[in-house]
């Protein structure tokens, strides 16, 4: 079974939406701070068991999957016909949305990875020699912001896919109204 543009678009949308959902859940589950337990010359930070780190990495994984699906969907040879990449990038609109999709993907990765890795490091390195430590967590709001940028990235990949599909139809002379199939069978209306 051949892949269609609608199927590709649906895959990009679902993966991007999953990245967004996991990013928002990670932000909502993140504790405000840990509990400090004084020890002999050290402070041990105890953090409640929360799924922030796991959800953060799931959000990153779905963002990467969305990006791979988006990239693949732009250059996939639908109906067995591939369009030269130069034709796609001749359109300034396509090139602009492609660049914005790549840029927002990078920004979303940074906004999702930074607090996730920071939170994981706080959980792993929980013994502090500074007795004034207040058991910090990752910066609040960054994961949620990353989730929204991830959703934006998904939407830009979808717009780029629509523009690539328009360029593909123009390149192959497909009108989408059935006339190309009618002419192919020798029937002229």
* Host H or E run for residue 35: strand 35-38
Residue 33 has a pLDDT of: 77
Q: What is the mean pLDDT of residues 162-185?
A: 68
Q: What pLDDT shows up at residue 143?
A: 92
CA pair distance 112, 142, nearest whole angstrom: 7
Q: Given a cut of 50, is residue 185 above it in pLDDT?
A: no
Least confident of 35-39, 56-60, 106-110, 161-165: 35-39
Residue in this structure with the two tokens 């300034």, named with its chain if needed: 92
Q: How many helices (DSSP H) and strands (DSSP E) are in the chain?
A: 6, 3
pTM, two decimals, is 0.84
Query: Tokens at residue 4, please?
Result: 């269609």
Q: Give me the mean pLDDT over the 155-184 stretch.
A: 76
If one compares 103 and 167, the residue with the highest pLDDT of the two is: 103
- pLDDT exceeds 90 at position 81: no
In contact, 121 and 135? CB cutoff 8 Å: no
Report residue 186's pLDDT band, with 50, 70 and 90 as the boundaries: very low
Could you tell me the pLDDT band of residue 31, with boundaries at 50, 70 and 90?
A: confident
Specify the DSSP class assigned to residue 185: T
Confidence band for 80, pLDDT divided at 50, 70 and 90: confident
* pLDDT of residue 174 exceeding 80: no
pLDDT at 177: 53
| Average pLDDT for the chain | 86
């Amino acid at each position: 079974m051949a892949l269609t543009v609608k199927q590709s678009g649906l895959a990009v949308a679902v993966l991007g939406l999953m990245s967004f959902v996991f990013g928002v859940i990670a932000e909502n589950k993140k504790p405000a701070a840990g509990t400090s337990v004084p020890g002999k010359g050290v402070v041990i930070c105890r953090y409640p068991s929360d799924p922030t780190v796991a959800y953060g990495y799931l959000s990153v994984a779905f963002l990467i999957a969305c990006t791979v699906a988006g990239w693949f969907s732009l250059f996939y040879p639908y109906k067995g016909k591939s369009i030269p990449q130069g034709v796609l990038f001749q359109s300034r609109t396509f090139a602009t949305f492609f660049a914005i999709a790549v840029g927002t993907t990078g920004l979303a990765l940074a906004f999702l990875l930074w607090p996730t890795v920071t939170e994981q490091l706080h959980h792993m390195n929980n013994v502090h020699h500074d007795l004034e430590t207040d058991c910090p967590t990752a910066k609040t709001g960054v994961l949620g912001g990353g989730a929204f940028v991830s959703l934006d990235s998904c939407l830009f990949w979808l717009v780029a896919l629509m523009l690539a599909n328009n360029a593909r139809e123009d390149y192959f002379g497909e009108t989408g109204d059935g006339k190309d199939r009618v002419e192919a069978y020798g029937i002229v209306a």
